[in-house]
Structure 1
Amino acid sequence: MSRPATHRTYIPVQAVRVSDPVNAQPVSSVERLEAFKSEVRTYAKLRREFQSLTQHIADQGHGPIADEDREELIVLSRQLFEAESILPAQAMILLGNGVIDRAIELITLENEGVI
Structure 2
Amino acid sequence: TPFRSSKQVSAQKFVSQALQEEYNQADRELKSQLNFAEDKIKITLENYAEAPIQVNAAQRAYLQKSTLYKNGLTDLTDLTQTIYTLNRAEIDRDIVNNNVWQSYLLKVAATGNFDLFINEF
Greater RCO (CA < 8 Å, at least 6 residues apart): 2
Question: Which structure has greater helix proportion?
Answer: 2
TM-score (structure 2 length as normaliser): 0.44
TM-score (structure 1 length as normaliser): 0.45
- Whichever of the two has the greater Rg, that structure is 2
